[in-house]
C-alpha cells in the first residue's frame, strides 16, 4: 500500500497530458471545437523575476488529471455534467513556445495563436504564465469588439510602466484601455498594498473603469459587480490567481488576505455569461513552486473545469 492514496487510481483515471483528458489539437489550422485551451508560459517578464509562472499550465493540467475518467459525472458546481447532451467539447492545444529573452517574439506568438483560434470561431482559454499575457491576447481580439473586460485581480494593473517595461504585468489594464475595441473595464478584487499608485487609480477612473474592491464585494455581493457589466456585451474575463484568497490559492507571488472565494469567482463567471457572451478567458499568475500541497492548482483547475461548462451552456 502506498503512503499516499492515489485518487486517480481510485477514480479509474487514464493517463493524459491534456486538461481533464480532453482531445488534443496540436495544429491550430485544424481546430474544430467551440473552445480551445492553450498554455502561454511567458509573454513579457520583468528582468528581476523572469518567467516565474512558466510551469503553471503543466501544473494545472496535472492537478485535475485524477478526474479524466469523471468528465461525464455530475458536476454539482454546474447542476449537471460539464458537457450536457448536444454540446461539443473543448480541445487542448498544448503550450506555446517562448523565449524568456524575447518578449516581442512571445507576444507575437500569443497574438497569432489567439487570432487563429478566434478565426476558427472558437473561444480561447489561455493558461498563463504571468499577467502580461492578456495584453497580446486582448490585442488579438480586435474583431470581437467592442469588448467589456471583467478583470478579477488583487491589483489594478494601471501602471504606465514598471522597471522600464510598459508591456509587463503591472500595465495590463492600462494597455487594454488604449485599445480601440475595449469599451468597458470592470475590475473586481483589488485589496491591500500593491504596485499601483493613487494617480494610477485616478487615471483608471478618469478613463471610465469601474472598480469593486474585495472588501466591497464581500459586503455588497457579486450582483453589485455584475450590474456594472452592460447587457449583451462581448466579455473577456481576465483572472489573476491572486484574486482568490491565499488560503485557497497560496501559489502566487504576492499573497494578500481578504480575497475572493471559489463560489464568488464562479458566480462572477456565470453571471457574466448571463449578461453577455464570453469571448475569451485567461487564468494567469499561478506559481506552482510556492503553492502548498497543490491547493492553489486544485482550486484554479476546478474553476477552469466549471468555466468549460459555463461556456458549453452559452450556446444552448
pLDDT in tens, 175-187: 999 999 999 999 9
Q: CA 28, CA 33: separation in Å to the nearest integer?
A: 10
Asked whether the CA dihedral 63, 273, 156, 173 is positive or negative, the reply is positive
pLDDT surpassing 50 at residue 1: no
Q: Could you tell me the pLDDT band of residue 15, with boundaries at 50, 70 and 90?
A: confident
| Strand (E) or helix (H) holding 235 | strand 233-240
Q: Could you tell me the pLDDT band of residue 43, with boundaries at 50, 70 and 90?
A: very high
CB-based contacts of 255, cutoff 8 Å, min separation 6: 242, 246
pLDDT surpassing 90 at residue 125: yes
Q: How confident is the model over 252-293, as pLDDT tens digits?
A: 999 999 999 999 999 999 999 999 999 999 999 999 999 999
Q: CA 239, CA 268: separation in Å to the nearest integer?
A: 11
Instruction: Pick the more confident residue, 171 or 14.
Output: 171
Q: What is the pLDDT of residue 6?
A: 72
Q: What is the mean pLDDT of residues 196-203?
A: 95
Q: What is the pLDDT of residue 102?
A: 97
Reported residue count of the chain is: 316
Q: What is the pLDDT of residue 98?
A: 97
Q: What is the mean pLDDT of residues 180-205?
A: 95
Q: How confident is the model over 58-73, as pLDDT tens digits?
A: 999 999 999 998 999 9
Q: CA 94, CA 58: separation in Å to the nearest integer?
A: 9
Q: Is residue 91 within 8 Å of 31, Cβ to Cβ? A: yes
All domains of the chain in start order, with CATH: 10-314 (3.40.800.10)
Distance, first Cα to last Cα, the chain: 46
Q: What is the mean pLDDT of residues 205-216?
A: 98
Q: What is the pLDDT of residue 3?
A: 67
Q: With left for phi above 0 and alpha for psi between -120 and 50, is residue 121 left, alpha or beta? A: left
Q: What is the pLDDT of residue 112?
A: 98
**Three-state DSSP class for residue 247:** coil
Say what percent of the chain tops pLDDT 70. Answer: 97
Q: What are phi and psi of 281, to 5 degrees?
A: -140, 150
pLDDT surpassing 80 at residue 133: yes
pLDDT surpassing 80 at residue 4: no
Model pTM?
A: 0.96
Q: Outline where 159-261 has alpha helix (H).
A: 172-177, 198-207, 214-220, 222-226
Q: What is the pLDDT of residue 154?
A: 98
Q: What is the mean pLDDT of residues 204-229?
A: 98
| Strand (E) or helix (H) holding 124 | strand 123-128
| Cis check: omega of the bond before 274, within 30 degrees of 0 | no
Mean pLDDT of the chain: 95
CA 287 to chain centre: 14
Q: Could you tell me the pLDDT band of residue 16, with boundaries at 50, 70 and 90?
A: confident
Amino acid at each position: 500500500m502506498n503512503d499516499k492514496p492515489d485518487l486517480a487510481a481510485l477514480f479509474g483515471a487514464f493517463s493524459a497530458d491534456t486538461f481533464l483528458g480532453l482531445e488534443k489539437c496540436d495544429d491550430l489550422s485544424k481546430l474544430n471545437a467551440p473552445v480551445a485551451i492553450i498554455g502561454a508560459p511567458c509573454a513579457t517578464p520583468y528582468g528581476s523575476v523572469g518567467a516565474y509562472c512558466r510551469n503553471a499550465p503543466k501544473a494545472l493540467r496535472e492537478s485535475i488529471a485524477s478526474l479524466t475518467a469523471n468528465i461525464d459525472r455530475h458536476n454539482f458546481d454546474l447542476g449537471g455534467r460539464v458537457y450536457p447532451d448536444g454540446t461539443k467539447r473543448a480541445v487542448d492545444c498544448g503550450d506555446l513556445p517562448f523565449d524568456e529573452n524575447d518578449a516581442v517574439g512571445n507576444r507575437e506568438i500569443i497574438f497569432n495563436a489567439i487570432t487563429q483560434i478566434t478565426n476558427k470561431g472558437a473561444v480561447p482559454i489561455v493558461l498563463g504564465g504571468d499577467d502580461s499575457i492578456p495584453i497580446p491576447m486582448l490585442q488579438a481580439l480586435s474583431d470581437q469588439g467592442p469588448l467589456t473586460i471583467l478583470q478579477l485581480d488583487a491589483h489594478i494593473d494601471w501602471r504606465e510602466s514598471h522597471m522600464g517595461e510598459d508591456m509587463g504585468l503591472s500595465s495590463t489594464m492600462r494597455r487594454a484601455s488604449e485599445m480601440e475595441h475595449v469599451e468597458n473595464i470592470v475590475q473586481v478584487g483589488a485589496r491591500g498594498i500593491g504596485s499601483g499608485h493613487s494617480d494610477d487609480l485616478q487615471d483608471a477612473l478618469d478613463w471610465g473603469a469601474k472598480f469593486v474592491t474585495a472588501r466591497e464585494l464581500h459586503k455588497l455581493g457579486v450582483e453589485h459587480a455584475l450590474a456594472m457589466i452592460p447587457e449583451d456585451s462581448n466579455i473577456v474575463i481576465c483572472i489573476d490567481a491572486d484574486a482568490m484568497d491565499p488560503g485557497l490559492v497560496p501559489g502566487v507571488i504576492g499573497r494578500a488576505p481578504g480575497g475572493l472565494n471559489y463560489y464568488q469567482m464562479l458566480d462572477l463567471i456565470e453571471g457574466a455569461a448571463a449578461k453577455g457572451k464570453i469571448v475569451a478567458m485567461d487564468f494567469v499568475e499561478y506559481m506552482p513552486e510556492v503553492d502548498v500541497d497543490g491547493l492553489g492548482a486544485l482550486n484554479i483547475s476546478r474553476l477552469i473545469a466549471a468555466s468549460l461548462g459555463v461556456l458549453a451552456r452559452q450556446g444552448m
